[in-house]
Amino acid sequence: MKFNFDEIVDRSQNYAAKFQEAELHYGTNDVIPLWIADMDFRTAPCIVDAIKARADQGIFGYTWRTPKYFEAVAGWQEKRNGWRPDVEKMAFAPGVVPSMRMVLTMFTQPGDKILIQQPVYHPFSDVVLNTGRELVVSPLKRDDAGYYTVDFADFEEKARGCRFFILCNPHNPVGRVWTPEELRTMGEICLRHGVEIISDEIHSDLMLDGHKHTCMASVSPGIAAVTTTCIAPSKTFNLAGLQSSTIVFNSGERKDAYVAELKRMDIARNNCFSLVATMEAYTHGEEWLEELLVYLSENMRFIRSFCAERLPELKPNTPEATYLCWIDARALGMDDETLKTFCVEKAGVALGYGPDFGVGGSGFLRLNAACPRATLEKALTQLERAVHSR
């Protein structure tokens, strides 16, 4: 490989949230932190070089967003996913979750029903409940092999009376890449019942083992007309700390109203580093990404092989996308709080806590596999020793 994903980078002194905030969630920082969803890899060298060149200018004033910025976003989507969003309907966002919150507060009313599918990334429920909207949950179905699908009968029943459906595409934490047929069925149900869609596609570049992402807004003109899409380079290129996302609206009027609200809050500009990093990532970052995807796929195979041979009490899934592994730990026979404490105190590993992801999360753990294989092996070995020494 041209890029070295085996390199161990010491993040303990660079104010990394996954290290410093572990104590808030797990009571200690003395753990291998595989809980929060960012990567332990250096980003693409071209991005580092672009940021260094910008820093060398030595002036960090207000930053104007060149039209090349959204053109780079659109060009990337067209090349990678076959969907070219309209740059006139694009707007900057400091993050995907803040943009979701703004859409709900601006285009729904308190008490309106918002549909999500659980288990799912926990801020989905947070943004609904924290804005005074009513949370409606349609649980995903899981078969005996650990494969998740949509319960379309339940989804349609729950969609009635909802204002928005928040879709995780691809899905965090279960790793599904929704097929065009699945997306079409969900989208047409929404159309039948007057439900708009927010499609969180932040993980859409992280396709494993040849899977192909389909943008919800690309499925049909009718579905596109009710879909707002949230995308970002943050997961793809490990740029979450630069706080740069893009929201693609389904109308120019909606986009203009959103931008006006950003301006009222004085957060409508990129910072000077996110501007150049985003353009560089989407213009020259593809070679790095392709090697990353190979490494992540191999990491997932390593996890499955390790658990099958040495730790059969844990049953990892086979994610089609993301760098997140969803692990069935129910065979350990522990309640959720005991399982969380066991992983931290006995194994020294901090993992995502299943109940945080809602219905269907009990007994499960989420492991961030975006780390050097040596780190992954160390964490799994510590888990193995802890389990076998009970």
> For 85-103, what is the mean pLDDT?
97
| Residue 264 domain flag | yes
> For 301-323, what is the mean pLDDT?
98
Cβ proximity of 170 and 213 under 8 Å:
yes
The domain that holds 307 is classified in CATH as 3.90.1150.10
d(CA 46, CA 35): 28
Say whether both 280 and 291 belong to one domain.
no
Cβ proximity of 230 and 198 under 8 Å:
yes
Strands (E), the chain: 32-34, 90-93, 113-116, 134-137, 141-142, 148-149, 162-168, 196-200, 227-231, 245-248, 315-316, 324-328, 349-353, 364-368
Say whether both 294 and 174 belong to one domain.
no
Say whether both 77 and 29 belong to one domain.
no
- How confident is the model at residue 1, as a pLDDT? 84
Comparing C-alpha atoms, which of 321, 318, 297, 281 is closest to residue 373?
A: 297
- pLDDT by residue (tens digit) across 169-202? 999 999 999 999 999 999 999 999 999 999 999 9
- DSSP string for residues in 271-291: PHHHHHHHHHHHHH-HHHHHH
> For 124-131, what is the mean pLDDT?
98
The domain that holds 267 is classified in CATH as 3.40.640.10
Cβ proximity of 369 and 323 under 8 Å:
yes
d(CA 366, CA 327): 6
- How confident is the model at residue 175, as a pLDDT? 98
HSE-up (13 A, CA, CB side) for residue 113: 13
Among 252, 267, 284, identify where a domain stops.
284
| Residue 9 domain flag | no
Residue 313 has pLDDT above 90, yes or no: yes
Say whether both 279 and 292 belong to one domain.
no
User: Which of 267-285 are b and which e, b meaning 16 or more Cβ less than 10 Å from the residue's Cβ?
Assistant: ebbbebbbbbbbbbbbebb
| Residue 3 domain flag | no
Say whether both 38 and 92 belong to one domain.
no
Residue 12 has pLDDT above 90, yes or no: no
The reply to whether omega before 170 is within 30° of 0 (cis) is yes
Residue 390 has pLDDT above 90, yes or no: no
- pLDDT by residue (tens digit) across 374-387? 999 999 999 999 99
Cβ proximity of 350 and 31 under 8 Å:
yes
Say whether both 292 and 199 belong to one domain.
no
Number of H helices, E strands in the chain: 15, 14
Say whether both 235 and 169 belong to one domain.
yes
- How many domains, in total, are found in the chain? 2
Helix (H/G/I), strand (E/B), else coil: 266: coil
- How confident is the model at residue 167, as a pLDDT? 98
- How confident is the model at residue 290, as a pLDDT? 98
Q: What is the DSSP letter of 137?
A: E
Say whether both 308 and 214 belong to one domain.
no
pTM above 0.85, yes or no: yes
| Residue 4 domain flag | no
Helix (H/G/I), strand (E/B), else coil: 170: coil
Comparing C-alpha atoms, which of 270, 348, 356 is closest to residue 72?
A: 270
pLDDT band at 76 (very low <50, low <70, confident <90, very high): very high
| Residue 187 domain flag | yes
Say whether both 221 and 131 belong to one domain.
yes
| Residue 258 domain flag | yes
Among 253, 284, 315, identify where a domain stops.
284
Q: CA-CA distances (angstroms) from residue 28 to 33, 85, 247, 375?
A: 10, 44, 36, 18
- How confident is the model at residue 14, as a pLDDT? 87
Say whether both 29 and 131 belong to one domain.
no
Question: What are the beta bridge partners of residue 335?
Answer: none
d(CA 377, CA 75): 38
| Residue 237 domain flag | yes
- Average of per-residue pLDDT values in the chain: 97
Among 284, 319, 350, identify where a domain stops.
284
- How confident is the model at residue 15, as a pLDDT? 93
d(CA 120, CA 128): 13
Q: Which domain holds residue 359?
A: 17-44+287-388
Cβ proximity of 199 and 170 under 8 Å:
no
Comparing C-alpha atoms, which of 15, 35, 25 is closest to residue 350?
A: 35
User: Cα angle at 383 between 377 and 389, to 5 degrees?
Assistant: 130
Alpha helices in 82-117 (DSSP H): 96-107
Say whether both 275 and 334 belong to one domain.
no
Instruction: Name, in order, each residue with C-beta under 8 angstroms of 11's C-beta and a sequence gap of 6 or more.
Output: 18, 19, 40
- How confident is the model at residue 195, as a pLDDT? 98
Say whether both 273 and 293 belong to one domain.
no
Whole-number CA gyration radius for the chain: 21
| Residue 347 domain flag | yes
Residue 331 has pLDDT above 90, yes or no: yes
> For 33-39, what is the mean pLDDT?
97
pLDDT band at 13 (very low <50, low <70, confident <90, very high): confident
pLDDT band at 303 (very low <50, low <70, confident <90, very high): very high
